């Protein structure tokens, strides 16, 4: 319900997973498999770093392997990829932004001072400047997912945000561990989100979520 995955090397992972957070523990293994088998049109520019065609990497960006970077993606100055990062095509990993153990589908933009950890971002998802995915609870207990049907136990300590296709996150927002945002929804700037936000919604503040028309 959150994603339409058109990235060939990610399709099996998505189709085999019941919940998006189930994929987080499989990213490292998938990176190893793709690096061993190779992907048509991709080049291993350094050990453990596989990039597609027309990828732009700024000289001051840091990439810790493993990483799979899709065609046409831009990694801007000061970006820090901490390992286990897989992107689709035409993404922007931006200025002074940090990424670890995450999946970005096609045309994701995290262009300015973002943190994306243990998260899955859908097609055309956009992180406003300074918005982050918090991935560990302050009391260090296991992350739960709150849904309209009840609470789901993930069994995992580190779970960031699951953003559906075309989600817009306003500047300066914090998406707390286990946040799920449905497709085409908007998060107001400076929001603090710790819940399930339905598709086609506008999150203004806690307790004030309205349907988009």
Tell me the whole-structure pTM to 2 decimals: 0.96
**Catalytic amino acids?**
112
Whole-number Å distance between alpha carbons of 31 and 134: 23
In tens digits, the chain (213 residues) has pLDDT values of 899 999 999 999 999 999 999 999 999 999 999 999 999 999 999 999 999 999 999 999 999 999 999 999 999 999 999 999 999 999 999 999 999 999 999 999 999 999 999 999 999 999 999 999 999 999 999 999 998 889 999 999 999 999 999 999 999 999 999 999 999 999 999 999 998 999 999 999 998 999 998
Whole-number Å distance between alpha carbons of 152 and 105: 24
Whole-number Å distance between alpha carbons of 125 and 144: 23
Whole-number Å distance between alpha carbons of 201 and 185: 5
């Amino acid at each position: 319900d959150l994603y339409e995955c058109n990235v060939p090397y990610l399709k099996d992972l998505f189709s085999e997973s019941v919940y998006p957070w189930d994929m987080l523990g499989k990213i490292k293994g998938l990176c190893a498999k793709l690096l061993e088998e190779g992907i048509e049109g991709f080049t291993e520019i350094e050990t453990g770093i596989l990039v597609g065609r027309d990828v732009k990497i700024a000289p001051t960006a840091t990439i810790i392997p493993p990483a799979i970077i899709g065609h046409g993606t831009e990694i801007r100055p000061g970006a820090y990829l901490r390992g286990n990062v897989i992107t689709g095509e035409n993404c922007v990993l931006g200025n002074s932004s940090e990424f670890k153990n995450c999946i970005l589908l096609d045309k994701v933009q995290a262009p300015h001072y973002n943190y994306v950890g243990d998260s899955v971002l859908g097609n055309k998802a956009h992180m406003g400047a300074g918005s982050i995915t918090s991935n560990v609870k302050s009391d260090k207990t296991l992350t739960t997912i709150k849904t309209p049907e009840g609470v789901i136990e993930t069994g995992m300590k580190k779970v960031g945000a699951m953003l559906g296709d075309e989600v817009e996150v306003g500047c300066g927002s914090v998406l707390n561990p286990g946040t799920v945002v449905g497709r085409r929804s908007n998060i107001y700037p400076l929001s603090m989100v710790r819940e399930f936000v339905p598709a086609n919604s506008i999150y203004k503040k806690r307790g004030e979520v309205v349907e988009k028309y």
